[in-house]
Amino acid sequence: MLKKALERTETLWPPLKKAYEMVYQAAHILAHHEQGTAAQVREAYQAYIKHMQEQKSSLGTLSAAIDHFVEITEHFAPGLFYCYDVPDLPRTNNDLEHCFGVARAHERRATGRRGAIPGVVVRGSVRLIALLVSIRENLQAADLQSTNYQAWRDLRSQLYYREEARRQQFRFRKNPAAYLAALEAQLLM
């Protein structure tokens, strides 16, 4: 039965193999083993995409798959190459999700909460960056000193704004009628 199935599909395998090789080569370029800049990787990748379009006629019915691959590539191209110029920026969604997963696991371990942690909503931008930097680097006390006080003040005001929004939400959930009455009194003043 297997032999009969292979004989019937024998003509389908060469184009499939060639299409797989094309996609695999595109992935190899994005894997960035040559350690070039983002511009170099973009140039090599776009040249290979052009080559794929030239070769798609040899794939028969799979040429539509190459068209789809090229369309998706063009859609994601504007943000696809930043990771090559920024050190330690995760290259794939899986790597990025791993970073967030590590942060979530640390928060869960520190607080004992299994669900969403309100502090992450308010201070997430600071906590996430602090966590990722502390994992990758051995920080000393001098590294934690702020050198740009205006940026520090701006960040503190953003955090205060978020904390105040969370307080207002809590007050509303605790006693909606009193909260709305106080808000109405403020507006009528």
Task: Mean pLDDT check: name the lowest of 21-25, 29-33, 60-64, 114-118.
Answer: 114-118
Per-residue pLDDT at 51: 92
143 pLDDT above the threshold of 70: yes
5 pLDDT above the threshold of 70: yes
Whether 70 and 49 have beta carbons less than 8 Å apart is answered as yes
Tokens of 69: 């691959």
Amino acid identity of residue 17, one-letter, is K
Per-residue pLDDT at 50: 93
Residues 6+ apart with CB under 8 A from 102: 131, 135
Stronger pLDDT, 181 or 130, i.e. the higher one: 181
Per-residue pLDDT at 121: 64
Per-residue pLDDT at 49: 92
